[in-house]
Amino acid sequence: AVGGGVVTDTAGFAAAAYHRGVRWVAVPTTLLGQVDAAIGGKTGVNLPEGKNLVGAFWQPSAVLCDTEVLETLPPREYRSGLGEMAKYHFLGGEALIDCNLEERIARCVAIKAEVVAGDEREGGRRAVLNYGHTLGHALETAGHYDLRHGEAVAIGLVFAAVLAQRLGRIDDARVAEHRRVVAGYDLPLTLPPDADTAQLLELMGRDKKAVHGLTFVLDGPRGVEPVTGVAVADAESALKEIAA
């Protein structure tokens, strides 16, 4: 499968379903694909009701990343990949800021591979890879995908930091660090002007992680981890704080 995240996810899902599983190889041609979408064997296909609601866990036989193809990407598509890269700063990738592009990609892949190796089917720790994605997916669905995935995740990272601060999990300095990392990649920090808070809350309530009420992956004293049973009022307040 040669292409971006949609191509590799669709091909991976097809490979998992065809003859109950056939071998496949991913050759991601976008930054988003190289640092995230093609790594880890989790495939997902969108439905009108939301992101990645149909899928399977099916590892590729190999993932081949050629960074030269990234030079062909439109600026906004390249920047979308930076949204996922920003996430890794808070998952053990603090030194990314000092790396060149190839080193950053390799470090992101290494972080994700290490997490997946310990929890291939997302029964526990792998959930941390969804950092920023609960609001991110809701924004994509609500906006009919006008926002690129990485742009939505970037906003989701800021939201998650603000929410974590409201819950007493992190301090103001850590929130500021989130804003600084996201802004450093020239990514959005606030909700789109036409964002509907009620709609976003409803969509986040339908997120696949939301088993015991609103569930978010949040930073805290033990690092990034899933937090269940978040009050709607707290999530709503955090959304209002990052409104444009």
Q: What is the tally of structural domains in the chain?
A: 2
Question: In terms of residue numbers, what domain contains 150?
Answer: 126-241
> Mean pLDDT for the chain?
94
pLDDT in tens, 156-173: 999 999 999 999 999 999
The rounded distance, in Å, linking the Cα atoms of 143 and 165 is 27
Place 2 in a pLDDT band, splitting at 50, 70 and 90.
very high
The distance from CA 16 to its chain's CA centroid, rounded to whole angstroms, is 22
The tokens for 214 are 């609103």
Are 81 and 171 within one domain? no
Are 219 and 158 within one domain? yes
Q: Domain ends where: 73, 99, 118? A: 118
Amino acid 207: pLDDT: 80
Amino acid 93: pLDDT: 79
Q: Is the pLDDT of residue 210 over 80?
A: no
Are 179 and 87 within one domain? no
Place 28 in a pLDDT band, splitting at 50, 70 and 90.
very high
Q: What is the mean pLDDT of residues 21-38?
A: 97
Are 104 and 29 within one domain? yes
Q: Domain ends where: 88, 118, 148? A: 118
Q: Domain ends where: 84, 118, 152? A: 118
Amino acid 98: pLDDT: 87
Are 14 and 85 within one domain? yes
pLDDT in tens, 49-77: 877 889 999 999 999 999 999 999 999 99
Catalytic residue set: 20, 42, 84, 112, 122, 126, 130, 133, 137, 149
Contact 116, 63 (CB under 8 A): no
- Direct distance between the N- and C-terminal alpha carbons of the chain, in angstroms, rounded to an integer: 38
The rounded distance, in Å, linking the Cα atoms of 124 and 48 is 27
Are 111 and 10 within one domain? yes
